[in-house]
Structure 1
Amino acid sequence: MDALLTALADPARWRLVALLAERPRPVGVLAQLAGARQPQTTKHLQTLERAGLVTSQRSGQRRVYALRSAPLRELAAGLTRLADTAERPEGPRATYERYGAGLREERAAAGEPGWADERAFAFHRSLAGSPERVWRQLTEPPLLARWWTPDDLRVSELVFEARPGGRIVLEYREAEDAEGADPVAGRAEGAVVDVRPGEHLGYRLSPLLPGGGPAFTAHVDFALRPSGTGTELDVRYRITDSTVASADFVAGIEIGFGQCLDHLAAILTTDPHD
Structure 2
Amino acid sequence: MNRLEGLVQTTTLNNGVEMPRLGLGVWKTNNTSAKESVKESIIKGYHLIDTAKQYGNEAGVGEGIKEGLAATGKNRKDLFITTKVFNGDQGYQSTLDALNGTLKRLDLTYIDLYLMHWPVDGKYLDTWKAMEKLYHQGKVRAIGVSNFDNDRLQDLLNHCEIVPAVNQMEFNPINQEKDIMAFNSHAGIQLEAWSPLGGGEALNNPTIKQIADKYNKSVAQVILRWDWQKGVVTIPKSSHEERIIQNSDIFDFELSDQDIQAIDALDQAKRSLWYPDFEWHTTGQMTDTVDQWDDSPKNYKD
Q: TM-score scaled to structure 2, two decimals?
A: 0.24
More strand by share: 1
Q: Which has the greater radius of gyration?
A: 1
Could you state the TM-score of these two structures normalised by the residue count of structure 1? Answer: 0.25
- 1 or 2 for the larger relative contact order (CA 8 Å, sep ≥6)? 2
